[in-house]
Amino acid sequence: MKAYVLKEPYKLEEVDRDEPQIAEPDDVIIAIKVVGICGSDMLSYQGKLELISYPRIIGHEFSGVVDAVGQGVKHVKPGDPVVVEPLISCGRCKPCITGDYNVCETLKVMGVHVDGACQEKLKVKAHKVFKLPDNATLKEGITLEPFSVGLEASLRGRLTIEDKVVIFGAGTIGICVLKAVKCHNARQIISVDIDDGKLERARNMGADHIINSSKEDVEKRVMEITGGKGANLVVEASGVESALAQCFEVTAYRARVTILGFYKSPMVQIPPIHIVIKELDVYGSRVYKNRFPLALDILAKKQVVLTDLITHEFTFDKLEDAIKTAIDPEVDSLKVIVTTY
Ligand SMILES: [Zn+2]
Ligand SMILES: [Zn+2]
From residue 12, give the alpha-carbon distance in Å to each of 4, 46, 107, 210, 266: 6, 11, 25, 39, 30
Q: Kindly report the pTM of this predicted structure.
A: 0.97
CA 86 – ligand 1 centroid, Å: 9
Q: For residue range 72-126, what is the model confidence (pLDDT) as tens digits?
A: 999 999 999 999 999 999 999 999 999 999 999 999 999 999 999 999 999 999 9
Average pLDDT over residues 14-41: 97
Q: How far apart are CA 16 and CA 136, in angstroms?
A: 32
From residue 293, give the alpha-carbon distance in Å to each of 25, 76, 226, 301, 315: 22, 14, 34, 12, 28
CA 181 – ligand 2 centroid, Å: 29
| Torsion-angle region of 235 (φ positive above 0: left; ψ -120 to 50: alpha; else: beta) | beta
The structural domains of the chain, ordered by start, are 2-131+305-339 (3.90.180.10), 148-284 (3.40.50.720)
DSSP letter (8 states) at residue 164: E
CA 60 – ligand 1 centroid, Å: 6
CA 223 – ligand 1 centroid, Å: 33
Q: For residue range 261-300, what is the model confidence (pLDDT) as tens digits?
A: 889 898 999 999 999 999 999 999 999 999 999 999 999 9
pLDDT of 51 over the 90 cut: no
- How many helices, marked H, and strands, marked E, lie in the chain? 10, 17
Query: What percent of the chain shows pLDDT beyond 70?
Result: 100
CA 97 – ligand 2 centroid, Å: 7
In DSSP terms, 212 is beta-bridged to 193
From residue 21, give the alpha-carbon distance in Å to each of 25, 129, 197, 317: 11, 17, 47, 24
pLDDT of residue 206: 96
CA 105 – ligand 2 centroid, Å: 5
